[in-house]
Amino acid sequence: MLGVKAPPRPVVVAGLPSLRWLWAVAGVAAVLLSCLVGVMAGPVHIAPAAVLQTLTGGAIDPGQANILWSIRFPRVVLGLLVGGMLAMAGAAYQGVFRNPLADPYLLGAAAGANLGATLAIAFAPGTTVLGVNTVPLAAFAGAGAAVGGAYALGRSVSGLRSTTGLILAGVAIAAFFNSIQQYVQQAQTGSIRQVYSWILGRLSTAGWDAVLLVLPYVVLSVVVIFLHRRLLDALAISDQEVSNLGISVRRVRIIVIVAATLGTAAVVAVGGTIAFVGIIIPHTIRLLVGRSYRVVVPLSLLFGAAFLVLADTAARTLLAPAEIPIGVITAFVGAPFFIAVMRSTRMTSV
Amino acid sequence: MSGVAVKDLSVAYDGALAVDALDLEVPEGEWLSLIGPNGAGKTSVLRAIANLVPFRGDVRVGGHAVASLGRRELARRVSMLVQEPDMPAGMTVAHYVLLGRSAHLGYLGRESDHDRRIVAETLQRLGLETFAARPLDHLSGGERQRVAIARALAQESPVLLVDEPTTSLDVGRQQSVLELIDELRHDRSLTVISAMHDLTLAGQYADRLALLVGGRLVAAGAPAEILVESVIAEHYRARVAIVDLNGSGHAVVPVRR
């Protein structure tokens, strides 16, 4: 014992927000499990052993390897990106707007994406820009335009002193974009089915293209939101008090909104406007684990990713060979589950 | 050096002056209480010192103009206890107090063991250790006020602004909150500027009173000089009796007309 100095003990204070490792492990396990299910399920059943062999470079049936690498893997990875991003962006929006009903589409991202996609489907079907399908690009541009418009409008009206002006601007822009979208949809009946299927959400199956298309935006958005989790906690108190803590409310709000919008616009472009993930996942985590964004942000990413991969697997297998729109699954499964969680926790702190 | 100096301060909301050419000097370690009828501009003065509202004039804390300090630099010098602190449901007491450390962290920084130790010490100092993990919405009014003080204290700023700290507390809790602020000010040689409605309590705890009427400073001085029947009658339009409490200050008692 002599000469051995005890290492300084970490300071433990009850009630401080922290992500318990058990929950982190559970989140990672959920992601891995959902990936395995998603990769195995489909018209051709592929055994877990074959999946592992493929991943480790082993020799398996070339037909199965082809299915895995060109269809199942990219689709599962895309599901992870879309689900994780929507859930995390939802959590971020709820934080900056201090509004439990905020979802990633609050400022008009969905309406903008729908309009962009509808225009592309109706007037430029099957075209590409720089080798990329026009539909996701138009959706991305539409989402960006809508949120940018809402932001500019909210700023000019209320000077961003309150979030109410911004939210109302988003509502107005969304209504305006929706009206144009519906007009185009009704006027171009030939593409109405395609438009509907896009709006209800469907992960594109164009190999790795879609994954590569959204990856940079999702990574950037996820990193930025993750770094702001402590500040999102501080935004829970009034703007004036946050300022007095030495935090620029406006700066946090702008950075997080831009990051969450960028990620949302990217995943909406390839997945359509998948409803409910951005609300149900963060709130379930709040109810079951804790309200701090240090918990909600990382766990939303993990469980949102796992949830969407499972929902997508159900969407493409239940009525195979037909595909059910993924938004139908997320709401049909998600809503009852969410209600069950709400009842069992008696919503003590929402 | 952490006194507060206010020169020619004016605050206007949509063109209407709330504070009009105010001069104040509060030396380090002093407790100055702003008093005055409703709408006199007490809260606006506190907000200007914390640089939370646009103002004209010169406001200095420890010699630095607050308008030229960054948000974080100012927060390390001035903390403010607002009248009704926002206490988000579900947030724990320890987490809320931890927010007070924000001013000492970089924009994307995380709290260190040092910050957690300060939270632990602050909770202990205010007798809140057993409350650490309790959600804010499970606290009583008096406990909430202590927790709000704890957050301001964890900020470790030498100047504490307090806006109506005793609103909606019973008389015992009013006393204990003001006693606490007074003890802390002596412990840590804080400069305290408060805005208070209750003239008796203001006179008992503050070293000096500054009487504001319509945004203007009409009198400043020791409580015994300001709490005078004629002064209160004139500016509050109230009929009061001032009762000398034999060395424990003065009580301002309303007298029915």
Cα–Cα dist A254/A251, whole Å: 5
A137: left (phi over 0), alpha (psi -120 to 50) or beta: alpha
**How are the residues of chain B apportioned to helix, strand and coil, as percentages rounded to the nearest 5?**
40, 30, 35
Asked whether the predicted pLDDT for residue A131 surpasses 80, the reply is no
Cα dihedral A51→A56→A62→A63 (10° resolution): 20
Q: Model ipTM?
A: 0.89
Task: Name the token pair of B195.
Answer: 């805005």
Q: Does B155 touch chain A (CB under 8 A)?
A: yes
Give the chain B residue whose CA is nearest to the CA of A240. Answer: B52
B92 interfaces chain A, CB cutoff of 8 Å? yes
- Judged against a pLDDT cut of 70, whether residue A302 lies above it is answered with yes
With CA atoms as reference, the chain B residue closest to A292 would be B91
d(Cα B77, Cα B103) in Å, to the nearest integer? Answer: 9
Is there a contact between A204 and A78 (Cβ–Cβ < 8 Å)?
A: yes
The tens place of each residue's pLDDT in chain B, 257 residues long, gives 679 999 999 999 988 999 999 999 999 999 999 999 988 999 999 999 999 999 999 999 999 999 999 999 999 999 999 988 999 988 999 999 999 999 999 899 999 999 999 999 999 988 899 999 999 999 988 899 999 999 999 999 999 999 998 887 888 889 988 999 999 999 989 999 999 999 999 999 999 999 999 999 999 999 999 998 889 988 988 888 888 888 778 888 888 87
Sort out which chain B residues have CB atoms less than 8 A from A349's CB and list them: 89-90, 135, 137
Please determine, for residue A100, whether its predicted confidence score (pLDDT) is greater than 50: yes
Q: Are A96 and A164 in contact (CB under 8 A)?
A: no
Query: What's the predicted TM-score (pTM) here?
Result: 0.89
Give CA–CA dist A114/A98, Å, rounded: 26
| Residue B138 touches chain A, beta carbons under 8 Å | no
Minimal Cβ distance to B110: which of A8, A15, A230: A230
B255 CB near a chain A CB, below 8 Å? no
Q: What SS3 class is residue A243?
A: helix
Is residue B61 classed as helix, strand or coil in its secondary structure? strand
- Would the CA dihedral through A196, A202, A205, A210 be positive or negative? positive
A252-260 mean pLDDT: 92
Quick check: A349 and B134 CB within 8 A?
no
Q: What is the pLDDT of residues A132-186, one digit of tens each?
A: 778 888 888 998 899 889 888 888 876 666 678 888 888 999 999 999 998 988 8
CB atoms within 10 A of CB B7: 13
pLDDT > 90 fraction of chain A, expressed in percent and rounded: 37
Q: Is B108 on the interface with A (CB under 8 A)?
A: yes
How far is Cα A198 from Cα A186, in angstroms, rounded to an integer? 15
Shortest CA gap B89–chain A (Å): 6
The encoded tokens of residue A326 equal 């993924």
Average pLDDT over residues A223-230: 96
Whether A109 and A146 have beta carbons less than 8 Å apart is answered as yes
pLDDT of residue A350: 44
pLDDT for res A349: 46
Question: For every residue of B1-16, which 3-state class applies, written as one string?
Answer: CCCEEEEEEEEEECCE
Give Cα A19 to chain centroid, integer Å.
21
- Average model confidence (pLDDT) for chain A? 86
CA atoms within 13 A on the CB side of A258: 9
Q: Is A17 near chain B, with CB under 8 Å? A: yes
Nearest Cα to Cα of residue A311 among A119, A126, A80: A80
Query: A7 — contact with chain B (CB < 8 Å)?
Result: no
> CA A190, CA A209: separation in Å to the nearest integer?
27
